[in-house]
Copies of this chain bind each other. A is one copy, B any other.
Amino acid sequence: MTVNLPSQQELSPTVDVDLERVRRPQYGRYLDELEPGQTFEHPRGFTFTRGNILLFSRTFMQANPLYLNAQYATELGFSDLPASPQMVFNVVLSLGVQNDSEKAIANLGYYDVQFLRPVYPGDTLRAFTRVLERKDRGPDKPGIARIRTVGVNQTNNVVLQYERKVMVAWRGDRLPTTPAATPSMPFPDEPLSQVDLPLSGAAVTGVLSGPNTAVEDFSCGDIIVHANGRSITEEHMALTYLVGNSHPLHFDGEYSRSLSGKMSGNPIVYGGLVFAWLEGLASRDISERSVWELGFTEGYHTQPVFAGDTLGALSRVLAVEEAAGLHGYGIVTTQLIGVKNLTAAAALDKYAEDLFIKEDSKRALGKEKISDKIFEIERRLLLTRRSQ
């Protein structure tokens, strides 16, 4: 197909400005626009490359060589350097923001996040969301939507599934949001329940993956204080769009300053990025020998993070289990806790066991919430044993 390119002539002085012809497209969905059963196929998609996979792993301080070293990954049985599950989670969640949460006031929690297939360089992911439930709390209060999202690859196989709760206001007299496209395929309603791993069974010697994170290194109840912290800079604004998240709360200072309450002021760091940094800070002590991230649940961002804050992380071992039928592996579940503007060691000294109690259980237990605590979640990992 051929298009002519005549020299381009200026047109604007010849077209009168008509202020009656103004459009103001809005993205995201208000509570009234989210109907249980409704399904979205989210726009754009995201192509993974070795470049963006490595950039993500290194930016977020990943220590597991599986996500840094292609030679190590292929020796383990992966067909190329896989994207870290944390990156897949960040990307799929972000793909859904335009429909799911660009008008949301708060992300309330992550539930039952599960990784089903590796994502490799060259793969392109798309995302779908179904509205599971809408909890109205009266005409004057924002309600809560519970949604289920899946990420699929270019052959339409699910790579990730999870649920999320978001707090959303009623539209009221605000402009309606742009309509969503009709999905190209049915939403995969049945959660998948097992994963085929690409593992060759090759032993992990520990030379490249560190001395600390074999199954034998963990016992239920262990508390691990991660040594280093990370100061977050204004880099977070660009990183938000690098993973595809379009919520202006994270990069538009005019929007942020127009808000009231504790979200007001400078742009807030997108929670997915906070989670990724905390996981990275923990990785030398928890996941260097991980070969599969089985999932996350009960994840809550309990305080916002801003540029200038320094993050610290602690983990607590919640379970160490056999991996049925998998000789040489075990499943370790840990609780990951994030704090800010004090070291992880100082946070443990200051708050002791309260640090590990869920913030939304505090009131019922007659305890104070911890303002220095920013995040809590439970993670399940498939780790190699030292004795394979």
Indicate if the CB atoms of A25 and B380 lie closer than 8 Å. no
- The chain B residue sitting closest to A354, CB to CB, is B17
Oligomer: number of copies: 3
Contact check, B295 vs A11: say whether CB atoms are below 8 A apart.
Answer: no
Distance (Å) between the CB of A90 and the closest chain B CB? Answer: 12
Most-contacted residue by chain B among A4, A219, A254 (CB, 10 A): A254
The CA-CA distance from A256 to B297 in the complex, in Å, is 34
How many Å from the CB of A52 to the closest CB on chain B?
Answer: 6
Give A7's nearest chain B residue, CB to CB.
Answer: B112
Whether A15 and B318, one on each chain, are in contact in the complex, defined by CB atoms closer than 8 angstroms, is: yes
User: Does any Cβ of B come within 8 Å of A44's Cβ?
Assistant: yes
Q: What is the CA–CA distance of A185 and B4 in the complex, to the nearest angstrom?
A: 26
Residues of A within 8 A of B (CB): 1-19, 21-27, 41, 43-47, 49-52, 54-55, 58-59, 61, 63, 65, 68-72, 81, 98, 112-114, 116, 122, 124, 126, 154, 178-184, 191-197, 199, 201, 205-212, 219-231, 233-235, 237-238, 241-244, 246, 248, 251-255, 258, 267, 284-285, 288, 292, 294-298, 310, 312, 316, 318-319, 323-326, 333, 335, 341-343, 345, 348, 352-353, 356-358, 361, 378, 380, 382
Given contacts A15-B318, A231-B252, 13 further A-B pairs with CB under 8 A are: A8-B297, A11-B335, A12-B318, A17-B356, A21-B223, A27-B284, A44-B209, A59-B242, A228-B248, A228-B252, A230-B237, A231-B254, A258-B343
